[in-house]
Amino acid sequence: MQNFSLLRRAGRSRKPVLMKRGMSSTLEEFLMAAEYILSEGNYQVVLCERGVRTFTDHTRNTLDLSVVPAVKSLSHLPIIVDPSHGTGKRDKVHPMALAAVAAGAAGLIVEVHPNPDKALSDGYQSLYPDQFEELAEECRAVCDLLRKRKAASRLTPVHA
């Protein structure tokens, strides 16, 4: 995100770009970095919240889910969330993924491995396949609920 010549090059590539938020970047810096790509004519950009560095030690990073609705109100770009890297802990991935969906994330990146203890990297934040299946079902349910609420809010009451 902070390699501006690389961002410009990605903008000229015309290939889809997934831009993860930097460890200590502000929302404005996040959006302005995307502008480097857009300014070169590439509009295939997806933003990704993956946690920021804070003073906590109960997770690897602090997953800033408040950035999801903020990006949606300030930008036309879709934003997804990476709760695996955002927390760095398997037991935190599921609840933070559901919260991300509820906050309006367009998607998720979740690490899954059949044997996380033997994974070459990031096993401690990887879900088992059955955990991922359960998460996917619950995410669908949250999305369905949000769709129903949105549809209901569009209905206008008829007064006699």
Tell whether 30 is covered by a domain.
yes
Residue 141, pLDDT > 70, answer: yes
What's the total number of domains in the chain? Answer: 1
95-127: pLDDT as tens digits: 999 999 999 999 999 999 999 999 999 999 999
43-75: pLDDT as tens digits: 999 999 999 988 888 888 899 999 999 999 999
Taking every pair of Cα atoms in the chain, the longest distance, rounded to a whole number of angstroms, is: 67
Q: Given CA atoms 74, 75, 78, 80 in this order, what sign does their dihedral have?
A: negative
CATH of the domain at 44: 3.20.20.70
What lies within 8 Å, CB to CB, of 144 at 6+ separation is none
- Return the closest-CA partner of residue 82 out of 102, 68, 97, 67: 97
- Residue 100's pLDDT is 98
Q: How far apart are CA 33 and CA 80, in angstroms?
A: 16
Tell whether 158 is covered by a domain.
no
Quote the percentage of the chain above a pLDDT of 90.
84
- Residue 156's pLDDT is 63
Q: Domain of residue 38: give its range.
A: 4-113+123-151
10-21: pLDDT as tens digits: 999 989 999 999
Tell whether 157 is covered by a domain.
no
17 strand-pairing partners: 45
Tell whether 22 is covered by a domain.
yes
